[in-house]
Amino acid sequence: MIEILPILLGGLVLFLYAISQLSEVLKGLFSSRAQRVITRYTRNIYSGILIGTVLTIMLDSSSAVIIMVIVLINAQVLSLKEAFGIIMGANIGTTFSSQIIALNIAQYSVIPLAIGLILEIFARDRKLVRFGKISLYFGMLFFGLYIMEQSVLPLRDSEVFNDWITRIEGNHIYGALIGGLITLIIQSSSGTVGMAIILGKQGLLSIAGGIAIMLGAELGTCSDTLLATIRGRRQAIKAGVFHLFFNFATIILGLLLFTPFMTLVQLISGSQDIGHQIANAHVLFNVAGVVIFLPFVPLAERLLNRWIPEKELPSL
């Protein structure tokens, strides 16, 4: 088991680096436009959910979208209720990457890698160079996934690994804590869910274990948002706390309804492999969480306004 760690970690580092660089390139491409879209089209919470979903898919990072929201709140160009919609939409948008990871396209990663490298070296047009970077990082992302997929194959014969997986699958709360801890360490919920999907595709993790880890990853991803609110306006702090509260509440609900939720995922997924089932669970959990939580948004806003009141201006 120890001998596979360097390869597994190497693939993970490549995957996380590709996500980070891809997010930066796409932010540079869409950031100013994204801010204009946010301020122009988030007239109500429903349009906010749609905008948050679309921007997260485009930027490939829910953290990037939510941090952008925090910046706009601090700049006083976005209201708290509008921010709530975008935050919930970002949670839906982040599930798109899970579906991509579940597809068996990692073995073709050499194609975007080659295209990206050729454009990086020979292209003179700035747009082509930028497209080359995007293609290169997408290829790097999928190549990192391929390395991880191949590295975990020997774990089938590891008693230590099988015992650890048994503990996760036998205790959903423990599995969620593991998922949250991994996300805190690697600072990527996509990376955590991606590893669960890979283990599921290789038959090393059951649907129960994969869902438990996915639930924990949803909580671990709140750390970036909370850090972004430091020294921000009270409204920005409320947005960060809302993100934490929303994720925590839906995770608790997911743990309480774990068995019927897992049954529903299996029913919807049909004959798909475990990796696809975990990806489907990620989508279903986040969409259902938004639908269930939506009627309680006004209550959450009132509570946050009461718990975190605006600072009183000193009297002259």
> Which residue reads 């230590």 in tokens?
160
Predicted pLDDT at 2: 67
Mean pLDDT over residues 91-98, rounded? 92
Tell me: the pLDDT tens digits for 33-51? 777 777 777 778 899 999 9
- Give pLDDT tens digits for 235-287: 889 998 999 999 999 999 999 999 999 999 999 999 999 999 999 999 999 99
Comparing 42 with 110, the larger pLDDT belongs to 110
Task: Out of 110-124, 157-171, 220-234, give the one with best mean pLDDT.
Answer: 110-124
Q: What percent of the chain has pLDDT over 70?
A: 96
Choice among 46-50, 143-147, 199-203, 220-224 with the minimum mean pLDDT? 220-224
Confidence of residue 116 (pLDDT cuts 50, 70, 90): very high
Mean pLDDT of 138-162: 84
The whole-number pLDDT of residue 313 equals: 45
Residue 31: predicted pLDDT = 66
pTM as predicted:
0.85
pLDDT at 67 over 60: yes
Mean pLDDT of 54-80: 84
| pLDDT value of position 315 | 47
Mean pLDDT, the chain, integer: 87
Q: What is the pLDDT of residue 106?
A: 77
pLDDT in tens, 287-302: 999 999 999 999 999 9
Q: What is the pLDDT of residues 161-195, one digit of tens each?
A: 888 888 888 899 999 999 998 888 887 888 899 99
More confident residue, 29 or 277: 277
